Amino acid sequence: MNEDYIWLSQWFVNRAAITDAAQVRPETNYFEAEWIDSFGVLELIASIEEHRSIRFDEEHFRDRRFVTVGGLAEMIGELRAAKSEHAR
């Protein structure tokens, strides 16, 4: 597990009805699992952008990976890597 996945898992543990991070699986669709609602997704995105120092755009929300914990962690990692590469 990478640091983005761990951070994201902990976010869900802190905000959803999940008792521990072991319940969070990469393939879990957090909407279908009812861990988050439309207001919660705004909170999630704001937290990610603030704590991971990245910005999402409209295209990212259409990416099918966006709805799973593992997919979103992968996207976060890609955005962080692109930002780091851009800073060089």
Nearest Cα to Cα of residue 69 among 42, 31, 37, 40? 31
| Superfamily of structural domain 3-87 | ACP-like (1.10.1200.10)
Segments making up each domain of the chain, as ranges = 3-87
Residues 6-49 pLDDT 10s: 999 999 999 887 888 888 999 999 999 999 998 999 999 999 99
pLDDT at 88: 66
Burial class (CB in 10 A: 0-12, 13-18, 19+), 73: buried
pLDDT at 74: 97
* 29: three-class secondary structure by DSSP: strand
* Distances 12 to 3, 18, 63 between C-alpha atoms, Å: 14, 7, 20
Q: How many Cβ atoms are within 10 Å of 53's Cβ, its own excluded? A: 11
pTM of the model: 0.90
